């Protein structure tokens, strides 16, 4: 399975916000994350970078 | 391996721009894609959505 962990970059730090993320879809100016267990979370930010072989997705808060 | 295919959404159509993408990093107002073979490509757009279990990353051109 190729799900990833989602982190939000806030200044110098990275905070884990969700594990096992499958889909990330634009919604209301941010993104809706859905993981492989069907759990959902909304992020008010943008997709900043991806490191897929490392299973990581980075978001940055909207300024 | 959890690399993905990158597509760019242009209106109603999706165009495959790179396979086996590993990292996607912000650069010069767009994104630099690097695949598992070390090939690189620049996209003048934003990351629109992700479907990781399907190994797909969607970009949208900057307007």
- Complex ipTM, two decimals? 0.94
- Asked if A4 lies within 8 A of B52 by C-beta distance, the reply is yes
pLDDT for position A11? 87
Per-residue pLDDT band for A18 (boundaries 50, 70, 90) equals very high
pLDDT lower than 50: segments of chain B: none
Domain extent, residue A30, equals 4-61
Rounded distance, CA A24 to CA A8, Å?
14
Rounded distance, CA B2 to CA B13, Å?
25
- For B41-50, how does the pLDDT look when each residue is reduced to its tens digit (9 = 90+)? 999 999 999 9
Q: Which of B36, B46, B49 has its CB closest to that of A53?
A: B36
Q: What angle do CA A57, A58, A59 make, to 5 degrees?
A: 125
Query: Which residues of B touch chain A, with CB atoms under 8 Å apart?
Result: 1-4, 21-26, 36, 46-53, 55, 57
Specify the number of domains making up chain B: 1
Which residue spans within chain B are E strands per DSSP?
4-10, 13-27, 30-35, 40-43, 45-51, 56-61
């Amino acid at each position: 399975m190729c799900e990833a962990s989602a982190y939000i970059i806030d200044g110098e730090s990275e905070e884990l916000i969700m594990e096992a993320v499958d889909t990330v879809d634009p919604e209301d100016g941010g993104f809706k994350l859905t993981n492989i267990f069907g759990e959902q979370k909304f992020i008010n930010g943008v997709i900043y970078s991806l490191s897929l072989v490392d299973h990581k997705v980075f978001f940055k808060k909207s300024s």
